Amino acid sequence: MTIQLIRTALAPLVFALASAGLQAQTRDEALLARATAAQAATVQTLERLVNIESGSTNLDGIRALSQFLESELVAMGAR
């Protein structure tokens, strides 16, 4: 293949990647604000989750994990 043919073949790909990169750099300030506001609560929930002893043979732990997740989902409006 000649250099010109390679450039011609790769040009659309390079353009698409460059465009995607520009779009990825655009910040959604509202989303960032909501995520930042929820960060502490999210970390707290994750901490509670990982502190439940729930190995695959620990049925009590699996039940506790299930109950915790159910209560969190119901609090968010799940039925």
- Cα of first residue to Cα of last residue in the chain, in angstroms, is 61
From first to last of its 79 residues, the chain has per-residue pLDDT tens of 456 656 666 667 777 777 666 555 678 899 989 999 999 999 999 999 999 998 889 999 999 999 999 999 999 898 8
> Which pTM value belongs to this model?
0.56
Alpha carbon distances (Å) from 55 to 60, 61, 63:
10, 7, 11
